[in-house]
Amino acid sequence: MADIPVDPQTSSISGGNDPARNQGSLRVPLYETSTFVFESAEAGRRYFEVVYGGASTEPGEEIGYSYSRLDAPNLRVAEERIAAWEECEDALVFNSGTAAMATVFMRVLRPGDTVLHSTPVYGGTASLLRGVMGEFGVTAIPFGPEDTIDDLEAKLDGRSPKLVFVETPANPTNDVFDLEVVVGIARRHGAVSVCDNTFLSPVWQRPARHGIDLVAHSATKYLGGHSDITAGAVAGPRELIEPIRKLRYQIGTTAQPWTAWMLTRSLETLQVRVERQTGNATRLAEFLSAHPKVTRVSHLSLLRPGDRGYEAYRKQAAGPGAMVTFDVAGGEEEVFRFLDSLRVIRHAVSLGGTETIVSLPWYASHANIPAEERLALGIAQSTVRMSVGLEAADDLIADLSQALERA
C-alpha cells in the first residue's frame, strides 16, 4: 500500500494495478482461472511451505498464486481497495456477506462460548448466530441500542464473551448502536469486536477508527452497488485477518475472480453513488415524514438532539446513508396495495444498488425472527424498507405519492 495515495477515493481508481505486469493494461485485467502455473518445482514447494506450512516470506519475496480458492490476483486488488476504504491493514473478500460472517464466527467461536450481538440484525445473521452457531454450542445474547456497558455486564451474568457483534445502523430499523459501548465491553473481556458496516458503507462510517477490530460487509450491497453480484468482505488488522484467510480457503468461502473484478470496478464509484443516493434518501425521508398515510419514518437525517441514537450518530458517522424505513398507515392490506401500486420503484429484497427498491422485512429479510420479537423491535407488517437509488428524486417522490394515495 506504500505507493498508494492516502485518500481511498484515489486509491480505488488505480490501487493494486501495476500496468507493467499486465501488458500495459490501464484497467485491472480479469484472471478468470482456477489454477496457476508454477515457475519451477522450487516455486511450488515454497508456495505451499508459506501458505500451508505457515513459513514467513522474506522481505520483498512474492510467492505468487496457486489455486483460486486459496487466493487470486483479482481478490488482492479488491481487498487492497476495501482495506483502504475501511482504514484497515488488510481485507478479505468472500462469495457473500453471509459467507464472510460465517467464516469470522467459525474462526472465533468454539462450543461453550458466548457471543453478544446487537438486535435487530439482518435475519440471516441472526439465524447464523442463534441457529447455526447455537447448534455448535454457542450462546448468543442480544442487546439493544440503549444498553450501557453495565447493562451488558448484567446480561452476560458472569459469562465472558469471545465475540461482540454489532450491526449499525441496524437492518431494517436504522437503530444506531454506540461503537464506544461495543468496543468498551469487548476490550474489557478480551473479545473480538465485529461491526457490520453494510448500511452506511465506509463513505459515511469507518468503524476501525472507533476501535472496532473487524469490519464486515455484505458487499452485495453498496460496495458492489449494482445488484449484480453477491459478495462479502471483512477488513481488519493483519494478525486477525490471516487466520480468517486460512479458514476461508479451508471451508471454501472465497469469492470468485469475476466477483472480485466486478467489486474492484464498483469501488471506483462508491463515493459518488453513495453521496447521490444519500441526497435522494434525505429528500424522500422528508417527503414521507409529512405524508398523512405514513405513520413512522426512520432515516438518520431525521435524528434530532435528544432522539435515541442521535449522540452516537454524530460521534461515529459522517452522513445518514440511503436506507429509509417507514410504516404505511393500516396493516397488510394497505401495505400490499401500496407495493402493488408502485410504478418506478420495484418490490425486491436486497439493497444498495443503483435502483430504488422496497421490501417488507416482516415477510422477507426478518421473517425468521419470532413475530413477538419482530414487533418488540419495531418491525410490523406495515413496515417498508426502502433502499434509495440514483433515479431523479422528483420521479421517486411522484411514484411514492401516487402509490400512497392508493394504499
Please report, as ranges, the residues that interact with ligand PLP according to CB under 6 A.
Answer: 96-98, 122, 124-125, 167, 171, 196, 198-199, 218, 220, 230, 232, 350, 365
CB 165 within 8 A of CB 121: yes
56 burial via Cβ count (<10 Å: 0-12, 13-18, 19+): exposed
Cell 480479469 locates to 30
CB of 92 to ligand PLP, least distance (A): 14
Nearer Cβ to ligand PLP, position 93 or 404?
93
Q: Could you give the strand order of the β-sheet that contains 323-328, starting from the edge strand earlier in sequence? A: 294-298, 323-328, 383-387, 357-359, 346-347
CB of 198 to ligand PLP, least distance (A): 4
| Strand 294-298 versus strand 323-328 pairing type | antiparallel
Nearer Cβ to ligand PLP, position 51 or 179?
179
Nearer Cβ to ligand PLP, position 98 or 277?
98
Nearer Cβ to ligand PLP, position 257 or 353?
353
Count the residues in the chain: 407
158 burial via Cβ count (<10 Å: 0-12, 13-18, 19+): exposed
Cell of 4: 498508494
Strand, coil or helix: 313: helix
**Per-residue b/e over 227-238, b at no fewer than 16 CB within 10 Å?**
bebbbbbbbbee
Nearer Cβ to ligand PLP, position 198 or 298?
198
Nearer Cβ to ligand PLP, position 66 or 193?
193
Nearer Cβ to ligand PLP, position 230 or 277?
230
CB of 158 to ligand PLP, least distance (A): 30
Nearer Cβ to ligand PLP, position 168 or 264?
168
CB of 363 to ligand PLP, least distance (A): 14
Cell 402509490 locates to 403
Distances (CA, A) of 226 to 265, 354, 389: 11, 5, 10
CB of 230 to ligand PLP, least distance (A): 5
Q: For residue 358, give the nearest of 332, 338, 384, 380 by alpha carbon.
A: 384
Residue nearest to ligand PLP (CB): 97
CB of 353 to ligand PLP, least distance (A): 12
Cell of 356: 430504488
DSSP secondary structure letter of residue 178: -
CA 373 to chain centre: 23
Q: For residue 199, give the nearest of 230, 237, 168 by alpha carbon.
A: 168
CB of 331 to ligand PLP, least distance (A): 25
CB of 205 to ligand PLP, least distance (A): 13
**CA separation for the pair 187, 207 (Å, rounded):** 15
CB of 46 to ligand PLP, least distance (A): 35
Nearer Cβ to ligand PLP, position 183 or 194?
194
Q: Could you give the strand order of the β-sheet that contains 232-236, starting from the edge strand earlier in sequence? A: 90-94, 232-236, 214-218, 192-196, 163-167, 114-118, 139-143
